[in-house]
């Protein structure tokens, strides 16, 4: 168990940052962080070492987020009005435009087919390196680059 505590100490902060960028909600990110490490502890025997431990943990966290979205419909269109714009210098019109753009981007990401959706989320939002994403899928780095490029175009 001591080894797992070391892993938690080393990776909790960066994985939390990934989940916070993904969810844009501190409470949910914290909840998903705990679920991520619980799942990692339960399935540590499945870690094959084809990617970094950070990438593996982010993948678990992303899957937990997808599961939470499906379970609670937390990110449905009706909830988007709860999006708070941090820049108070923006006019009401600018805030509405920003919210509308955010909703459009979220919808576009959700409509992407696999593996485009995963590659885009991991790289653009989670800042996971393309070489690590390629390792997750057992593919080449050029495959990951092309998949990310195509996801952006779609």
pLDDT tens per residue, range 36-95: 999 998 998 888 887 788 888 988 998 898 888 777 664 444 444 444 445 557 777 777
Largest Cα–Cα distance of the chain, in whole Å? 53
Contact 145, 123 (CB under 8 A): no
Average pLDDT of the chain? 81
Q: Would the pTM of this model clear 0.95, i.e. be above it?
A: no
* Cα distance between residue 33 and residue 30, in whole Å: 5
Contact 33, 16 (CB under 8 A): yes
Of all residues in the chain, what percent carry a pLDDT higher than 70?
A: 87
Q: How crowded is residue 64: how many other Cβ atoms within 10 Å of its Cβ?
A: 19
> What is the token pair recorded at 81?
């009005």
The pLDDT score that the predictor gives to residue 150 is: 92
């Amino acid at each position: 168990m001591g080894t797992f505590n070391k892993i938690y100490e080393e990776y909790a902060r960066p994985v939390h940052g990934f989940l916070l960028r993904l969810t844009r909600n501190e409470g949910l990110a914290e909840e998903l962080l705990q679920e991520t490490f619980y799942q990692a502890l339960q399935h540590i025997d499945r870690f094959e070492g084809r990617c970094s431990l950070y990438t593996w943990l982010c993948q678990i966290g992303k899957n937990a987020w997808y599961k939470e979205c499906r379970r609670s419909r937390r990110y449905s269109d009706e909830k988007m009005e709860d999006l708070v714009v941090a820049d108070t210098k923006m006019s009401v019109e600018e805030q509405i435009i920003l919210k509308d753009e955010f909703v459009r981007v979220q919808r576009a990401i959700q409509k992407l087919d696999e593996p485009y959706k995963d590659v885009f989320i991991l790289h653009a939002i989670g800042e996971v390196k393309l070489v690590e994403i390629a390792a997750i899928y057992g593919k080449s780095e050029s495959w990951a680059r092309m998949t990310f490029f195509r996801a952006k175009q779609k």
